[in-house]
Structure 1
């Protein structure tokens, strides 16, 4: 079942890739494809959000809900963002020193942004964080790792982070570890705050930083 969510998400990204390729070869068809993308994305987000809420209503041993936003939690969120930024910095240094190669996923995103800047940036910064957090943290952790025992939570964060990494790089390599590390931070944030909105905000800031700097 969970694989189905990944599939329908990949369909969405495929539509965006099609629109991007059309920007170079068939510019008159881009608006039509973007319209399809917006309709599909809205339906996808509505469906996955509904499924996530239904899952929590049926079984919620981790007590996931809405955590009040406070100054203390803002500082905690900021600290997690700094941690993710630190991972990105180390990653960048390893790439500049030719220890690691630039991820093919990031190269493809950069190329797509050059061809169709607004929609690719909007998708990566605004839409992707919402849908990926609902799939990888929300639905995955609450479906496969329902118990609130510490070891179950630890295992859930580890596995969900690993799958998150594999979505971005389809090979077992040091780059997979770097992507997974970002996923582990996001998984830890989900279990710490018990509120998917904090994850979405954290993911949003990370993607914005990666694309805009």
Structure 2
């Protein structure tokens, strides 16, 4: 009975990750290709759908924590000076390491993913900035840090911490570079830093903030 309960919990978490990825893909269509969306009061409708989708994803994440949270994630109080310092350190690390890896791996070129984003940005305008700077960091942290650790690395052990950081970073990188080119190493490093921030602070708000700051560098 206990084993069946664990399997059902595990399966439910996998389904919630899949649902979140699907909702994310819908939001990307709205923000990357706004001219294709034909709706009355389009901006208001898209904003409302965004709030509903993001709220639902975060609710699923918190719901998972109620049924298994060995790490004590998302515990109150949510804000503290110490964890904000970790966020700043994470931002510095992700900026320096990201730049270094781009120089080492890129050799003056950019990834296919970045090329696609550059093309999309030309036609979607400010909607692109909103997606990349705010929505993407929120959703990706919920999925690749929050739901990921609560599904695949549920026990707080030293091994789970470091293996989880590496694996979470790779999954994050693969989603950004599914063809597994040399540029996957850049995204891998970025994902590992974000996972480190999450595990150090035990609160998604801080890895989201690090992610938002990093993604905003080249936009505003």
CA contact (8 A) 1:67 1:194 kept: no
Determine whether 1:66 maps to 2:76.
yes
Deviations 1:62-100 (A, max 9, x none): 0112355444433322121111111222144347734xx
Runs of 4+ aligned structure 1 residues displaced above 4 Å come to 29-36
Q: TM-score, normalised by structure 1?
A: 0.85
Structure 1: runs of 5+ lacking an equivalent? none
Determine whether 1:57 maps to 2:66.
yes
Counterpart residue number, 1:143: 151
Q: CA deviation at 1:35?
A: 4.8
Structure 2: runs of 5+ lacking an equivalent? 1-14
Figure out how many residues of one structure are paired with residues of the other and give that number. 204
Aligned equivalents of 1:163, 1:35: Cα separation in 2: 33
Q: 1:94 to 1:30 in 2, by over 3 A?
A: farther
2:200 to 183, 192, 207: 192
RMSD: 2.3
Indicate the SS of the match to 1:171.
Answer: coil
Which range moved further: 82-91 or 64-73? 64-73
Q: TM-score, normalised by structure 2?
A: 0.82
Counterpart residue number, 2:214: 206
More helix per residue:
1
Counterpart residue number, 1:75: 85
Deviations 1:136-158 (A, max 9, x none): 11111111111111112222222
Counterpart residue number, 2:114: 106
Larger RCO, structure (CA 8 Å, separation 6 or more) = 2
Aligned equivalents of 1:16, 1:78: Cα separation in 2: 28
Aligned equivalents of 1:186, 1:30: Cα separation in 2: 36
